[in-house]
């Protein structure tokens, strides 16, 4: 990671900004729930980003939700955006905690940590925290109009 940070400082390239746009809880079985997330990537640079892959961990309300790795991205143009759908299985206690948070009408905090690796092999770490408003939850988590 230190080498990647040094490479970023030399080139002035920033990693894409990664945010969680939406969360959907699907099937619940065997004390686990299927979770689908939509991540948004934004290129803060004035040059195209040729991303080879992205590795990430998503925490919802401080609990692990999804760990994953994507492969093959279309180049992200300067100032451009892209959407990435990711999925995973999470312990039912994380879902129960999220449901209690939803019941209180409070936003659910999230953290996304990871790294993007460019086609030239350079890797840049990223980290982002934010909050998902209750209205962004859909379907089985009880979205409200």
What's the pLDDT tens digit per position in 62-72? 878 788 888 77
Exposed, middle or buried by CB within 10 Å (0-12, 13-18, 19+), for 103?
exposed
How crowded is residue 88: how many other Cβ atoms within 10 Å of its Cβ? 17
Distances (CA, A) of 28 to 25, 32, 82, 142: 8, 6, 29, 15
Mean pLDDT along residues 115-133 = 90
CATH class, domain 2-138, is: mainly beta
Residue 109 has pLDDT above 70, yes or no: yes
**H/E element holding 5?**
helix 2-11
Q: What is the mean pLDDT of the chain?
A: 78
Residues 6+ apart with CB under 8 A from 121: none
Q: Give the pLDDT score at 96.
A: 67
pLDDT tens-digit series, residues 7-63: 444 468 899 999 888 878 788 888 887 878 888 999 999 999 999 999 988 888 787
Residue 142 has pLDDT above 60, yes or no: no
Quote the pLDDT of residue 108.
79
Domain residue extents for the chain: 2-138
pLDDT for 4: 41
């Amino acid at each position: 990671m230190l080498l990647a940070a040094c490479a970023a400082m030399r080139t002035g390239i920033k990693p894409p900004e990664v945010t969680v746009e939406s969360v959907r809880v699907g099937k619940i079985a065997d004390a686990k729930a299927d979770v689908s997330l939509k991540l948004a990537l934004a290129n803060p640079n004035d040059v195209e980003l040729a991303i080879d892959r992205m590795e990430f961990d998503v925490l919802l309300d401080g609990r692990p939700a999804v760990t994953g790795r994507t492969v093959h991205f279309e180049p992200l143009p300067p100032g451009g955006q892209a959407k990435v759908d990711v999925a995973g299985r999470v312990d039912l206690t994380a879902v129960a905690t999220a449901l209690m948070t939803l019941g209180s009408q409070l936003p659910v905090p999230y953290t996304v940590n990871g790294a993007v690796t460019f086609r030239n092999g350079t890797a840049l770490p990223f980290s982002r925290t934010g909050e998902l408003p209750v209205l962004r939850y859909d379907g089985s988590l009880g979205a409200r109009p």
